């Protein structure tokens, strides 16, 4: 397995695993994501799509390397958002003041009932942590470190066979 193949596989498995953990904690663990939690997921979705594309382009001139780079960059972006989110949770950064609710037309009473039915999830409140690190912090650690490994592996040139 070449370095590029390893990078390609990591670019698929890391965001898929992190998304599985986030979605599992939401739908099986009952943790409700805040707005910034959703922000961290979007680059992972993009990374999965880019990594799948890199598998499809293995026979091309650059062997899908550029899609692996883009996937690594997307994973890094998710980690950077995780750093910001963890900083908001620790009070280092000021958080966003956006509050979202699914509002779909109707009367004022319907809109109010819809807002009241949705939980208000604050971005500066830690819902779960392990070893003192929140989910946003773990996303930052895993995403940034994995992105750096993916980019390093994808830049390595194969060794000559007789070296």
| CA dist list (Å): 112 to 54, 57, 99, 122 | 46, 49, 14, 19
d(CA 35, CA 96): 9
Alpha helical stretches, state H, 28-64: 35-56
Task: Indicate the range of 71-80, 84-93, 136-145 predicted with least confidence.
Answer: 84-93
| Partners of 145 in the β-ladder | none
pLDDT in tens, 131-140: 877 888 889 9
Whole-structure pTM value: 0.76
Q: What is the DSSP letter of 134?
A: E
User: d(Cα 122, Cα 118) in Å, to the nearest integer?
Assistant: 12
pLDDT at 3: 87
């Amino acid at each position: 397995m070449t370095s590029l193949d390893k990078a390609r596989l990591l670019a698929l498995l890391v965001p898929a695993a992190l998304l599985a953990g986030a979605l599992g904690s939401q739908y099986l663990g009952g943790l409700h994501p805040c707005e910034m939690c959703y922000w961290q997921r979007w680059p992972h979705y993009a990374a999965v799509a880019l990594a799948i594309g890199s598998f499809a382009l293995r026979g091309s001139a650059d062997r899908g390397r550029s899609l692996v780079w883009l996937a690594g960059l997307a994973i890094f972006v998710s980690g950077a958002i995780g750093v910001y989110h963890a900083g908001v949770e620790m009070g280092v950064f000021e958080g966003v003041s956006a509050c979202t609710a699914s509002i779909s037309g109707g009367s004022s009473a319907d809109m109010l009932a819809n807002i009241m039915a949705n939980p208000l999830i604050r971005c500066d409140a830690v819902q779960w942590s392990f070893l003192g690190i929140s989910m946003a912090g773990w996303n930052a650690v895993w995403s940034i470190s994995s992105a750096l490994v993916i980019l390093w592996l994808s830049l390595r040139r194969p060794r000559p066979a007789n070296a």
